[in-house]
A and B are shown apart, each in its own frame.
Chain A
Amino acid sequence: MKPAIGRGKWAALAAAVVVCGAAYGQASKPIAMAPVWEKEVLELASSLPIQDGGRVKPLSTYAAFTLLKMNGARTLKVPDPRNLGADGQPKERRLTPIEWLLDCLFYPDAAERYRCFVVETYEVVDSIGVSHEGKKKRDRYSYAELRPGIDKLYQLARQYNTEAEGDTQKLSPVQGQIVNLATNVFEFQRILHYLDFARHTYPIAEGSAAAQLIPENRYSGILEKLSTIGVVAIVLDRGMETIEAGLGAERAQELRSMIPAGFGALSAEDRRKALSELNAIVQDASLMSGRATGLALFPPTKELGDQKEWIAAGELFEPLMGSSTHAHEQIQLIAELETLTALRDQPEAFKSQLAKFHDSVVGIATERGEYSKVPIEVSFYKWKFFFWAQWLFVLVFVLVAISWIAPAARSIDAAALWGLFVPTALLIIGITYRCIIRGRPPVSTLYETILFIAAVAVVCAIAIEFMNRQRIALSVGSVLGAMGMFLANRFEEQQGVDTMPELIAVLDTNFWLSTHVTTVTMGYSAGLLAAAIAHIYIIGRLIGFRKEDKAFYKNLSRMTYGVICFGLVFSTVGTVLGGIWANDSWGRFWGWDPKENGALMIVLWELAMLHARMGGYIRDLGFAVASTFGAIIVAFSWWGVNLLGVGLHSYGFTSGIMPILLGFYTLELAVCACGVLVWILERYRKPAPAVATAPPEIASVRKKRLPAKAAE
């Protein structure tokens, strides 16, 4: 653990007790300050496996999504009492999710003062009787701040859930937020109290009868003796002689071997005392085990048979109670975690103990064949492919914009074109990583559709750019790439759940995921790409951009047409494949399910566009307007139907995106209206002189890319 003020002073700092009242406004009791965790500690903790959401994942992934859900952001700002500002107030530092989780586990007193619960409105805290004085409408609260209202919070959440019969769509926004907050607080409590079993002092007095039975005064020691404790309790209750009288000599001998020497010779008074002591110990251990059920950190060892469920520290108590089950290896793991907890203020010892615990857990997980993907996932999140891709797409767009302004600057032009490959490659590598981790084709969740659609749009844009070298597809590709990454990022933040969940049974088929789902999403992608090119056409015509250059607009129109054709192929094939899948899984080819209907609407709209174009009912401008409207249909099919909450595609249901979706519809309708305006203006405008003979724009030609013979 790296100290903030000089490495050598770590121990003094870690041991220091500070009053954080000034920072938090209300804390009054002295609390232990959490350290700045060392890089090695963070790496070890990050790659610890945990079973959550039905799969084994890195602890860092669990921490990241848990914090995201509570905090609404990927990192957490906390005051750093080691680092005071000029005004004497602690400066803020950012905790990564794994740092936050380690603080919660090992320094719960400090962590409960972290403002990690985002609350959207005052009404939420008002309704649970918590003061919002000094807070903004949307602000963050600490567990300590919410504590006075937690009982009320749970009571309200239960009431709303019952009234809504578990259907979150029936909840009002404030009710929904209360239920969410209750869920988050509950999850936080499970983390905060997870290691209470290791911190707790059990009532085993030195030299007592109980101490003879349980030589190690800690939870793992009690677990180890749980099966014996039951027998001893009976002996203490009834007396050895009474029990032995009913047993044969052999069984009596067996019984004597199970209990510590001296137990049989206790006086009645001492037996009562010892029994009471044992009861208190078991009750305490039972209480602590109830708190340690949140994190399934322990892979089941062979002793527990072919068990698929990993276990939390507290979950071993009940099966061992009064049972003859042996779980020495499992208990050993728990003992290692206890030791780790005890060493929290000794950085070097903590690090080596963590490494030992890590090795033990990873060893068992590897043996079970459940660890191989964990380091890959750690590295996937570490590299932040989509984050970098987003900003590189933006950078490429800036370069393209400069090349539009200064068409003669060929180096910028080239940089933009080749530069687009970098974020595209990052995006594709990221998607490939996810495929490897999940063992699935690229698209199996709503989140992954965003990544895939963005990737397909950008790759198509690059292909078009190489076909016609107009810099139009280049611009559109960079914008769509950046928007796709931004949307993926926002969606992940808004949902706050693992984006690599296990799949429900109906989706457990890589064949259909890789055929139907990918083709239909490629259809979405093409629809959006066509609409983006159509935007340039409409807005360009409206503002008179290159208005003399008919070839420019003809090219735009050709591109739109080509992309719509491409989209129609994939939408049609994807929709029919979806029907064939449905015929194999639900027993009917077509069931008028909203998701199916959405895909059909795209096909129908694109068919109408193409037939209207062939029949001469719409020309280039009309086709552009229709393509733009097509984006609304794609958005409805992609997102809109998921908000309806009906149909068999329940695994795609989502919520909370309505405002963004309405904003998108409005924007697209506005662009369509612009198209209509262009049509009206040009219809009544005096015809401009013919420009068909105008020479092509030289500036847009890249000599060096032409075939050598032609260039000569």
Chain B
Amino acid sequence: MVKALKIGFEFIASYGFACVVFLLLLLLVFLGTIEQVDHGLYEVQKRYFESLFLVHWFEPFGGRLAIPLPLPGVYLLLILFTVNLIAGGIVRMRKNKNTVGNLIIHGGMLFMIAGGFVNFKFAQDGHMTLAESQRSDEFVSYYDWEIAIAQPENGVYQSEYLVPHERLAYLAPEDSAAFTRDDLPFELVVEGFQRNCQPMAMGPMMPHEGELVDGFTLHGMPLDKEAERNIAGAYATVREKKSGATQKAILWGFSAHPWTVTVDGKPYLIDLRHRRYALPFTIVLDKFTHELHPRTQMAKTFMSDVTKIENGVSQAIKITMNEPLRHKGYTFYQASWQPANPQLGTPVKSTLAVVKNPADQWPLYSCIVISAGLLIHFTAKLLKYLRAENKRLVARGATT
């Protein structure tokens, strides 16, 4: 048993194992890069870089032949790489003055991978798009969806219930899922969830694939390469708990208004929308500056003058490209503006990308550690080489 463990450890800590992992990572990164042309970054990221396994289809001869190639995903490879790095690059490695640099490099890499993992698992990202003088205390996901059920009383939202993205993300169009809470007088049944679709009005004689609600059906569309352009939709049924009576509607991510349904005499608003994250402070856009290089359409600078309001205290802040606002673990970046080519006089909205990443600065720290390690290790190597070359030249000189 001990021998088997030892062999296993030797295997996983070996240079050969490291090489295989590096080469597979290289292959995956290459394939994932090429695939982005046809499938866009979001899909490729999910399939190649955030997966344990995948099947890559080689399609030579203009797609007339399709050859499947099963491969480990980058996620799995990074786990294997981490194990190899710990086993071979730290535990097994001799600890002496010659390996100090290497140990530091490997330590820095571990820290960086840890940062990547924390980011992957715990980061929240989205955007906040504001016109001048608008304010917000939440930001919106680019890709994730949620269903919000709100109950207004006297025009004020008393409470909001959410069906989170995680419950919707894996629903296929043929799936049906029911959601409820004890304090809700109905259950919400979601069917035919599609990640990219559009409601279409159907005449009585027109053939249609899905259900028909008030003369409309959801028309599924292929996923867009730019994933943020996908608009989700689903059929929703409200089934009253008391009577079993049902009401049906289409929920669509781009609807101008939520679906209003009355149950037990109370109105409820049901909305399929991009996931929202609450902020512990408010941001007000005071001014958006968008400057082009003279006589071109090339952006020279764009920046947002904002006010951060927290506990009644206001603070004026400037957010510009490469100079984000960092506060309480949230970072606000000047991402873009809308519309892209505004006409004279059109109000322009500023889009701030918002990220909450507990490992925000870890790459910087690991970069410093890795750089130090590389410097120590390769300087030692260079000095050794120079000494050897000097000896060689001296020896040649002596020979002549």
Instruction: List residues of A whose CB falls within 8 A of some B CB.
Output: 51-55, 296, 308-310, 467-469, 502, 504-506, 508-509, 512, 558, 562, 565-566, 568-569, 572-573, 576-577, 579-581, 583-594, 597-598, 600-601, 604-605, 607-608, 611-612, 614-617, 633, 636, 641, 644-647, 695-696, 698, 701, 703, 706-707, 710-711
Determine if B41 and A647 form an interchain contact, defined as CB atoms under 8 angstroms apart: yes
| Cα A572 to Cα B29 with chains together (Å) | 16
| Cα A590 to Cα B366 with chains together (Å) | 14
Residues in B with CB closer than 8 Å to A505 are 299-302, 321
Out of B45, B333, B367, name the residue touching A587 (CB < 8 Å). Answer: B333
Determine if A589 and B115 form an interchain contact, defined as CB atoms under 8 angstroms apart: yes
The segment out of B32-40, B146-154, B170-178, B215-223 that lies at the interface is: B32-40
Determine if A706 and B26 form an interchain contact, defined as CB atoms under 8 angstroms apart: no
Tell me, yes or no, whether B244 is within 8 Å of chain A by CB.
no
**If the complex has contacts A588-B125, A611-B18, A647-B41, are A573 and B296 also in contact, measured as CB distance less than 8 A?**
no
| Cα A14 to Cα B36 with chains together (Å) | 60
Out of A604, A614, A647, A707, name the residue touching B25 (CB < 8 Å). Answer: A604
List 6 A-B pairs, minimum CB-CB distance, nearest first: A615-B15, A54-B293, A608-B22, A706-B397, A710-B397, A587-B353
Which of B25, B293, B324, B333 lies at the interface centre, i.e. has the most chain A CB atoms within 10 A of its CB? B293
Tell me, yes or no, whether B132 is within 8 Å of chain A by CB.
no
B263 to chain A, nearest CB (A): 41
Residues in A with CB closer than 8 Å to B33 are 592, 594, 597-598, 641, 644
Determine if A592 and B294 form an interchain contact, defined as CB atoms under 8 angstroms apart: no
Out of A509, A644, A707, name the residue touching B322 (CB < 8 Å). Answer: A509
Residues in B with CB closer than 8 Å to A469 are 393
Tell me, yes or no, whether B66 is within 8 Å of chain A by CB.
no
B209 to chain A, nearest CB (A): 29
Tell me, yes or no, whether B201 is within 8 Å of chain A by CB.
no
**Nearest A-chain residue to B26, judged by Cβ:** A604
B92 to chain A, nearest CB (A): 12
Say which size band chain B's interface belongs to.
35 or more
Determine if B302 and A645 form an interchain contact, defined as CB atoms under 8 angstroms apart: no
Determine if A568 and B298 form an interchain contact, defined as CB atoms under 8 angstroms apart: no
Determine if B294 and A310 form an interchain contact, defined as CB atoms under 8 angstroms apart: yes
Determine if B36 and A605 form an interchain contact, defined as CB atoms under 8 angstroms apart: no
Which of A579, A581, A587, A617 lies at the interface centre, i.e. has the most chain B CB atoms within 10 A of its CB? A587
Determine if A710 and B367 form an interchain contact, defined as CB atoms under 8 angstroms apart: no
Determine if B324 and A587 form an interchain contact, defined as CB atoms under 8 angstroms apart: yes
**If the complex has contacts A572-B374, A573-B367, are A608 and B19 also in contact, measured as CB distance less than 8 A?**
yes
Instruction: Please list 6 pairs of residues, one from A and one from B, whose beta carbons are closer than 8 Å in the complex, sorted by A's number.
Output: A565-B381, A576-B370, A580-B363, A583-B364, A584-B324, A589-B116
**Nearest B-chain residue to A696, judged by Cβ:** B396
Residues in B with CB closer than 8 Å to A583 are 360, 363-364
Residues in A with CB closer than 8 Å to B371 are 573, 576
Tell me, yes or no, whether B193 is within 8 Å of chain A by CB.
no
Determine if B323 and A584 form an interchain contact, defined as CB atoms under 8 angstroms apart: yes
Determine if B300 and A569 form an interchain contact, defined as CB atoms under 8 angstroms apart: no
The segment out of B53-61, B229-237, B249-257, B382-390 that lies at the interface is: B382-390
A461 to chain B, nearest CB (A): 15
Besides A584-B323, A615-B18, A696-B396, 9 new A-B residue pairs in contact (Cβ under 8 A), listed by A number: A467-B386, A469-B393, A589-B363, A604-B23, A611-B15, A611-B19, A615-B14, A706-B393, A710-B397
Which of A467, A583, A703 lies at the interface centre, i.e. has the most chain B CB atoms within 10 A of its CB? A583
Residues in A with CB closer than 8 Å to B301 are 505, 508
B158 to chain A, nearest CB (A): 34
Determine if A512 and B322 form an interchain contact, defined as CB atoms under 8 angstroms apart: yes
| Cα A507 to Cα B227 with chains together (Å) | 25
A305 to chain B, nearest CB (A): 14
**If the complex has contacts A506-B321, A615-B14, A647-B41, are A604 and B22 also in contact, measured as CB distance less than 8 A?**
yes
Determine if B36 and A644 form an interchain contact, defined as CB atoms under 8 angstroms apart: yes
Residues in A with CB closer than 8 Å to B354 are 587
| Cα A621 to Cα B159 with chains together (Å) | 71
| Cα A606 to Cα B216 with chains together (Å) | 57
Tell me, yes or no, whether B44 is within 8 Å of chain A by CB.
yes
Determine if B385 and A562 form an interchain contact, defined as CB atoms under 8 angstroms apart: yes
Determine if A502 and B298 form an interchain contact, defined as CB atoms under 8 angstroms apart: yes
| Cα A646 to Cα B41 with chains together (Å) | 9
B140 to chain A, nearest CB (A): 14
| Cα A468 to Cα B392 with chains together (Å) | 9
Determine if B397 and A586 form an interchain contact, defined as CB atoms under 8 angstroms apart: no
| Cα A46 to Cα B386 with chains together (Å) | 51
Residues in B with CB closer than 8 Å to A647 are 36, 41
**If the complex has contacts A51-B295, A611-B18, A645-B37, are A586 and B335 also in contact, measured as CB distance less than 8 A?**
yes
Tell me, yes or no, whether B49 is within 8 Å of chain A by CB.
yes
| Cα A64 to Cα B66 with chains together (Å) | 50
Tell me, yes or no, whether B51 is within 8 Å of chain A by CB.
no
Determine if B29 and A566 form an interchain contact, defined as CB atoms under 8 angstroms apart: no
Determine if A577 and B322 form an interchain contact, defined as CB atoms under 8 angstroms apart: no
Residues in A with CB closer than 8 Å to B322 are 506, 508-509, 512, 581, 584-585
**Nearest A-chain residue to B29, judged by Cβ:** A597
Out of B41, B49, B366, B395, name the residue touching A576 (CB < 8 Å). Answer: B366
Determine if A53 and B296 form an interchain contact, defined as CB atoms under 8 angstroms apart: yes
Which of A566, A576, A589, A601 lies at the interface centre, i.e. has the most chain B CB atoms within 10 A of its CB? A589
| Cα A506 to Cα B386 with chains together (Å) | 42
Residues in A with CB closer than 8 Å to B375 are 569
Determine if B364 and A587 form an interchain contact, defined as CB atoms under 8 angstroms apart: no
**Nearest B-chain residue to A598, judged by Cβ:** B33
A298 to chain B, nearest CB (A): 12
| Cα A646 to Cα B43 with chains together (Å) | 14
**Nearest B-chain residue to A651, judged by Cβ:** B298
**If the complex has contacts A296-B295, A644-B37, are A608 and B26 also in contact, measured as CB distance less than 8 A?**
yes
**Nearest B-chain residue to A695, judged by Cβ:** B399
Determine if A585 and B294 form an interchain contact, defined as CB atoms under 8 angstroms apart: no
**Nearest B-chain residue to A706, judged by Cβ:** B397
Out of A296, A586, A600, A612, name the residue touching B15 (CB < 8 Å). Answer: A612
Determine if B399 and A698 form an interchain contact, defined as CB atoms under 8 angstroms apart: yes
Determine if B18 and A586 form an interchain contact, defined as CB atoms under 8 angstroms apart: no
Determine if B34 and A608 form an interchain contact, defined as CB atoms under 8 angstroms apart: no
A682 to chain B, nearest CB (A): 23
Determine if A580 and B367 form an interchain contact, defined as CB atoms under 8 angstroms apart: yes
Out of A592, A594, A646, name the residue touching B49 (CB < 8 Å). Answer: A592
Residues in B with CB closer than 8 Å to A615 are 14-16, 18-19
**Nearest A-chain residue to B38, judged by Cβ:** A646
**Nearest B-chain residue to A511, judged by Cβ:** B322
Residues in B with CB closer than 8 Å to A646 are 36-37, 40-41
Determine if B298 and A54 form an interchain contact, defined as CB atoms under 8 angstroms apart: yes
Determine if B370 and A573 form an interchain contact, defined as CB atoms under 8 angstroms apart: yes
Residues in A with CB closer than 8 Å to B22 are 604-605, 607-608, 611
Tell me, yes or no, whether B261 is within 8 Å of chain A by CB.
no
Tell me, yes or no, whether B355 is within 8 Å of chain A by CB.
yes
**If the complex has contacts A508-B301, A587-B333, are A711 and B385 also in contact, measured as CB distance less than 8 A?**
no
| Cα A611 to Cα B293 with chains together (Å) | 48
| Cα A114 to Cα B396 with chains together (Å) | 65
Which of B324, B335, B363 lies at the interface centre, i.e. has the most chain A CB atoms within 10 A of its CB? B363
Determine if A711 and B125 form an interchain contact, defined as CB atoms under 8 angstroms apart: no
B68 to chain A, nearest CB (A): 23
B202 to chain A, nearest CB (A): 30
Determine if B400 and A698 form an interchain contact, defined as CB atoms under 8 angstroms apart: yes
Out of B29, B386, B389, name the residue touching A604 (CB < 8 Å). Answer: B29
Residues in A with CB closer than 8 Å to B15 are 611-612, 614-617
**Nearest B-chain residue to A613, judged by Cβ:** B15
A568 to chain B, nearest CB (A): 7
Residues in B with CB closer than 8 Å to A593 are 41
B400 to chain A, nearest CB (A): 6
**If the complex has contacts A588-B125, A601-B26, are A467 and B389 also in contact, measured as CB distance less than 8 A?**
yes
| Cα A337 to Cα B45 with chains together (Å) | 59
Out of A584, A586, A591, A608, name the residue touching B41 (CB < 8 Å). Answer: A591
| Cα A589 to Cα B324 with chains together (Å) | 14
| Cα A467 to Cα B299 with chains together (Å) | 47
Which of B33, B367, B389 lies at the interface centre, i.e. has the most chain A CB atoms within 10 A of its CB? B33
A193 to chain B, nearest CB (A): 19
